[in-house]
Amino acid sequence: MGLIKEVDCEKCIKQKPKYNCDDCISYHADLPYLVGEKLEIALDEEFKRSFELAHNFASKSIMHSDFWGVYCGKDFLMASDTWTLVKIKADVPKSLVGKYLLEYNHENILAAKNKNPAFTNGQAQRIINEAQFGARMRSLLKRQMEDFVSVCYEEKGEKLVRINNGPVVQRALLDKAMAAIPDNEAFMLSYSPLEKHKPLLIRGKIIECIILPVRG
C-alpha cells in the first residue's frame, strides 16, 4: 500500500539530525506497528484475485490506518474503509489464517504485527448479521439495480443516491460494490425502509458488502 511504502520510520529515526514524528505529515500513532513481517508463500491466482477484491475496500486514509489491511479468516477475507465492510469467500492458505495482510507484491506478503480487533472479536460479522434483521430483501441482476435508485443528490461535490425509499448512500461506494458482482449473477439487496439509518447489504455468491448510509 502506498502510504506504508512512503513512510519508513526506522530510516527516519536514524537520520541526523533526528526528526520528530509529531512533525511528520504521515504520522499516526499506529503507524510504526503497521510495518509488519514479510511472509514468503506461493499463492494461487484465485486467492490473489480474492485478496485484490477485498483490498479494494480497505481504507487508504492516514486517519484510519488500522483499517489498511485485509483480515484472513478460515474461509473468508474481510476489509473495511469505515464506510463499507466487505466479506469475501476465499480458500485461505492455513499459514495465513488469522493474519492481517497489508499488501501483496509478487510472492512477498506484508502482514501487520497487530490485527484490527473489529475483525478478530466478531464485531464485523455481527454488523453483517444485524443488517439483515427486519430488512427488505430483493433478488436482482446488476442491470436492474438502477430501478432501485429512486433519487440522486449532490452535496459538497459528492454524489449520493437513495435506495428505493431506503437509506441514502455514496454513489461511489455503491458503484464499487456493484463492480464486484458479475453481470449475469443474481444478488440480494437488503435494506430497511422503516429504519433508514440501518446499512445497505449487498450479497452475491462470493461477496457480502455493507454500505453505511450518510443519512436516513
If you ran DSSP here, which 8-state letter would residue 181 be given?
S
Domain boundary among 128, 156, 180: 128
Q: Are residues 6 and 112 in the same domain?
A: yes
**Looking at the DSSP assignment, which residues form a beta bridge with residue 37?**
111
**Looking at the DSSP assignment, which residues form a beta bridge with residue 155?**
158
How confident is the prediction for the chain on average, in pLDDT?
83
Domain count, the chain: 2
Q: Are residues 116 and 71 in the same domain?
A: yes
Domain boundary among 83, 106, 128: 128
pLDDT of residue 126 exceeding 60, the answer is yes
Question: What single-letter amino acid sits at 211?
Answer: I
pLDDT at 14: 53
- Contact yes or no for 64/118 (Cβ under 8 A): no
- Contact yes or no for 107/43 (Cβ under 8 A): yes
Q: Are residues 98 and 23 in the same domain?
A: yes
Task: Identify the band that residue 10 occupies on the pLDDT scale cut at 50, 70 and 90.
Answer: low
Range scoring the smallest mean pLDDT among 12-16, 53-57, 113-117, 188-192: 12-16
Q: Are residues 159 and 182 in the same domain?
A: yes
Domain with 203, as residue range(s), is 135-211
Task: Residue 214: name the closest of 176, 164, 173 by CA.
Answer: 173
pLDDT of residue 83 exceeding 90, the answer is yes
pLDDT at 5: 39
- Contact yes or no for 117/125 (Cβ under 8 A): no
Across 68-78, average pLDDT: 95
- The helix/strand/coil state of 16 is coil
- Contact yes or no for 65/92 (Cβ under 8 A): no
Task: Give the pLDDT confidence of 153-210 residue by residue, as tens digits.
Answer: 887 778 999 998 889 999 999 999 999 999 999 999 999 888 888 999 999 999 999 9
Task: Residue 215: name the closest of 167, 166, 149 by CA.
Answer: 167
Question: How many whole angstroms from its chain centre is CA 28?
Answer: 20
pLDDT of residue 21 exceeding 80, the answer is no
Across 55-80, average pLDDT: 91
Burial label, 1 (beta-carbon count in 10 A; 0-12, 13-18, 19+): middle
Q: Are residues 122 and 155 in the same domain?
A: no
Q: Are residues 32 and 107 in the same domain?
A: yes
